[in-house]
Amino acid sequence: MSSLEGLLSSAVRPAFAEISGDALADPILRRSTRCDYQLNGALPLARTLSVSPREAAARVMDSVDLRDLVDLVEIAPNGFINLTVRDDVISRLLDEQLADPRLGIRTATEVKTIVVDYSHPNVAKEMHVGHLRTTIIGDSLVRMLRRLGHTVIKQNHIGDWGTPFGMLIEHLLDIGEANTAALLSVGDLNGFYRAGREKFDADPDFADRSRRRVVSLQSGDEESVSLWRVLVDQSIGYFQHVYAKLGVLLEPSDIVGESFYNDLLPGVTADLAAAGLVTESDGAMCCFPTGFVTRTGDPLPLIVRKSDGGYGYAATDLAALRDRAGRLGADEILYVVGAPQREHLAMCIATAREAGWVPDEVRTEHVAFGSVLGPDRRPFKTRAGASVRLIDLLDEAVLKAGQVVREKSPSLDPDEHESIAEAVGIGAIKYAELSIDRVKDYVFDWAHMLSFEGSTGPYLQYAHVRARSILRKAGHAGSVPISVREPAERRLALALLDYGGTVTDAIADHAPHRLCNHLFGVAESFAAFYESCPILKADEPVRGSRLALTEGTALVLKDGLGLLGIAAPDRL
Ligand code: ARG
């Protein structure tokens, strides 16, 4: 809710409450294209009073004095009340908002400790487009939550443990540490993994060694552990390289891999068993959280310890939940994980709650997302059918953006060209990712995401550049108070006034696409304003006011893109 919306609704709510006799009456106020705001609450009131909606609306408006805020009230026959806000009110509120470094974004009323589990790639395996989604969405959520004042604890739950490590260590020994390091650091992780796997399948001797190695690693044998560390460290170096290229906040200190929980796993199973939550089934230890059934209606097991005594993915997630609600003191735990893991996470969470490790007050949420599709609407793959390496995708984005930028601004010097190509290329990928409702699948489409038209990263970056270039030409920012008059000025101002409320709403639903839509609306309103209202050629004080509106646009676009993790260069 913007402050303007707040003022309007606190002005009308008492009238609705008094006339309806319902102290909680909460009329709905929304932005409208027909006027500025539409007030929609006369319908239930009309029923209570047994009068027409129009009559009900008229009674409300007779009893409130909105003259300080509104200069036109129209009541439609259906009882909708159309409000046109006074120009001076819009101007004053926007002046206030732009003078505030928070640009109208309010701090959360209740500051929380929020754990965000995201990115979580796997050691000695390539990062793919699924990891792109969780990394970008998680990064934006972290930025927004921090802005609202929450304490955010990033947890990069990398896959760094399990039976494949026996084979991976033996393969490392076969080809030597130096070769391994070379492969893993340049990112031929899949090649390394595949070669190990092939040997494992073809060579019984190697398979045998690998199995013995797993046992020795699990028993904490020093040599095995230090070889495992080589694999993990090399991979982490590679992940950080990808993160740097992506411009996300994740740091090595955010890594809390599966192996971190190893020592806690025996306690997890023992305590589950002591609580009577474990059933043995074919030698495996299973939990059956309430409410989960198979397709045929049988209770669905969550395997905590396999029949060979090994712990799996679920045990680690249970230990992690316990650790986050306990040691980390989380009030909220967010899992930015693909939709296919919905049931796994729900079962782990249900079990952890039944065990009393995650009390009711601690909120958990699976911030799920859909798949990335190719142009054929099938899972995104290379032409050869392999999964696409994230790093290749990023390099290609920067390369393609470089061409687009060169066409648009042939005169940029090479240094500047490179950094702008990076901002535009990476920004394009991020925006394409974030601007679609995350639960939906989306089609990875270079032509669309790199276009300077439509709801794209480059379009928004360009709107920001255009605003900045006007301000540069003017030689100074707007200094006189804003005074909106023209319809295009009013529309832009109202859009800017909605910024703070939009951020609050977007984070409440973990929905960065709402912020994208809003920023796109700001950029479009700015384009319309720029088309119809001369800025630099206007006379004072109109010129100053329009420059201030232009500067407000630049500030909001830059800040909003920043919350999405997207750079906003001053030139392009
Ligand atoms: N490493 C897993 C993967 O790449 C995702 C881990 C998700 N987080 C979790 N706590 N289970 O699919």
Counting atoms of ligand 1 from 1, which one is nearest the CA of 344?
A: 11
Q: What percent of the chain has pLDDT over 90?
A: 77
- Which has the higher per-residue pLDDT, 20 or 54? 54
CA of 162 relative to ligand 1 center, distance in Å: 13
Q: Is 128 in the pocket of ligand 1 (CB under 6 A)?
A: no
**Mean pLDDT throughout 262-281?**
95
CA of 148 relative to ligand 1 center, distance in Å: 27
Q: Is 159 in the pocket of ligand 1 (CB under 6 A)?
A: yes
**What pLDDT score was predicted for residue 479?**
65
What amino acid is encoded at 406 in this protein?
R
431: left (phi over 0), alpha (psi -120 to 50) or beta: alpha
Burial of 169 (0-12, 13-18, 19+ CB in 10 A): buried
**Mutation probe of ligand 1 site: the residue of 115, 119, 120 with most atoms within 8 A of C-beta:** 120
Counting atoms of ligand 1 from 1, which one is nearest the CA of 120?
A: 1
Nearest Cα residue to atom 4 of ligand 1: 121
- Which has the higher per-residue pLDDT, 529 or 379? 529
CA of 158 relative to ligand 1 center, distance in Å: 7
CA of 121 relative to ligand 1 center, distance in Å: 7
Q: What is the band of 74 on the pLDDT scale with cuts at 50, 70, 90?
A: very high
What residues are paired with 31 via a beta bridge?
37
Q: Is 337 in the pocket of ligand 1 (CB under 6 A)?
A: yes
**Mean pLDDT throughout 76-93?**
93
Indicate the length of the chain as a whole number: 572
Which two structure tokens, joined as six digits, stand for 65? Answer: 């004095």
CB 463 within 8 A of CB 557: yes
pLDDT tens for 398-426 read 999 999 999 988 888 988 999 999 999 99
Counting atoms of ligand 1 from 1, which one is nearest the CA of 131?
A: 4
**What pLDDT score was predicted for residue 184?**
81
**Mean pLDDT throughout 56-83?**
90
- Which has the higher per-residue pLDDT, 162 or 517? 517
- The chain-wide mean pLDDT, for the chain, equals 93
Total H helices, total E strands in the chain: 21, 13
Residue 187 in this model has a pLDDT that exceeds 80: no
Residue 529 in this model has a pLDDT that exceeds 60: yes
CA of 118 relative to ligand 1 center, distance in Å: 8
CB 496 within 8 A of CB 524: no
**What pLDDT score was predicted for residue 88?**
96
Which string of DSSP letters, residue by residue, matches 259-300?
A: GGGGGGHHHHHHHHHHTT-EEEETTEEEE--TT-B-TTSPBP
CA of 313 relative to ligand 1 center, distance in Å: 9
Contacts of 473 (CB under 8 A, 6+ apart): 536
Counting atoms of ligand 1 from 1, which one is nearest the CA of 125?
A: 4
**Mean pLDDT throughout 341-369?**
98
Report the candidate in 219, 227, 249, 247 with the shortest Cα–Cα distance to residue 124: 227
CA of 382 relative to ligand 1 center, distance in Å: 23
Q: Is 160 in the pocket of ligand 1 (CB under 6 A)?
A: no
Q: What is the band of 477 on the pLDDT scale with cuts at 50, 70, 90?
A: low
Q: Is 162 in the pocket of ligand 1 (CB under 6 A)?
A: no
d(CA 8, CA 69): 7
Q: Is 122 in the pocket of ligand 1 (CB under 6 A)?
A: yes
Q: At what angle do helices 542-563 and 87-99 cross, to 10 degrees?
A: 50
Report the candidate in 117, 112, 114 with the shortest Cα–Cα distance to residue 155: 117
Residue 22 in this model has a pLDDT that exceeds 90: no
**What pLDDT score was predicted for residue 2?**
66
**What pLDDT score was predicted for residue 183?**
82
Counting atoms of ligand 1 from 1, which one is nearest the CA of 345?
A: 11
Q: Is 53 in the pocket of ligand 1 (CB under 6 A)?
A: no
CB 408 within 8 A of CB 572: yes
Name the DSSP letter for residue 111: -
d(CA 510, CA 366): 10
CB 236 within 8 A of CB 187: no
Q: Is 323 in the pocket of ligand 1 (CB under 6 A)?
A: no
Q: What H or E segment, with its residue span, contains residue 40?
A: strand 37-40
d(CA 273, CA 285): 9
**What pLDDT score was predicted for residue 207?**
95
Which two structure tokens, joined as six digits, stand for 173? Answer: 């020994």
**Mutation probe of ligand 1 site: the residue of 125, 156, 157 with most atoms within 8 A of C-beta:** 157
φ, ψ of residue 159 to 5 degrees: the values are: -85, 100
Which two structure tokens, joined as six digits, stand for 323? Answer: 């650790």
Calculated CA dihedral for residues 329, 330, 336, 341, nearest 10 degrees:
80
CA of 366 relative to ligand 1 center, distance in Å: 12
Residue 112 in this model has a pLDDT that exceeds 70: yes
Q: What is the band of 478 on the pLDDT scale with cuts at 50, 70, 90?
A: low
**Mutation probe of ligand 1 site: the residue of 341, 348, 365 with most atoms within 8 A of C-beta:** 341
Q: Is 258 in the pocket of ligand 1 (CB under 6 A)?
A: no
Q: What is the band of 381 on the pLDDT scale with cuts at 50, 70, 90?
A: confident
**Mean pLDDT throughout 305-331?**
95
d(CA 328, CA 497): 37
Give Cα separations from 430 to 416, 424, 512 (angstroms).
Answer: 21, 10, 11
Give Cα separations from 522 to 215, 455, 474, 499, 533 (angstroms).
Answer: 59, 11, 21, 9, 16
**What pLDDT score was predicted for residue 16?**
85
What amino acid is encoded at 80 in this protein?
F
**What pLDDT score was predicted for residue 103?**
97
Nearest Cα residue to atom 5 of ligand 1: 120
CA of 359 relative to ligand 1 center, distance in Å: 23
Give Cα separations from 549 to 101, 379, 531 (angstroms).
Answer: 16, 44, 14
Q: Is 254 in the pocket of ligand 1 (CB under 6 A)?
A: no
Q: Is 117 in the pocket of ligand 1 (CB under 6 A)?
A: yes
Q: Is 458 in the pocket of ligand 1 (CB under 6 A)?
A: no
**Mutation probe of ligand 1 site: the residue of 122, 337, 345, 351 with most atoms within 8 A of C-beta:** 337
CB 192 within 8 A of CB 180: yes
**What pLDDT score was predicted for residue 281?**
87
Report the candidate in 570, 557, 555 with the shortest Cα–Cα distance to residue 420: 570
**Mean pLDDT throughout 510-531?**
98
Contacts of 415 (CB under 8 A, 6+ apart): none
d(CA 243, CA 394): 11
Among 18-22, 61-65, 248-252, which stretch is predicted with the lowest mean pLDDT?
18-22
Counting atoms of ligand 1 from 1, which one is nearest the CA of 320?
A: 10
Residue 466 in this model has a pLDDT that exceeds 70: yes
CB 546 within 8 A of CB 526: no
Q: Is 120 in the pocket of ligand 1 (CB under 6 A)?
A: yes
**What pLDDT score was predicted for residue 191?**
86
Nearest Cα residue to atom 6 of ligand 1: 120
Model's pTM, two decimal places?
A: 0.94
**What pLDDT score was predicted for residue 324?**
98
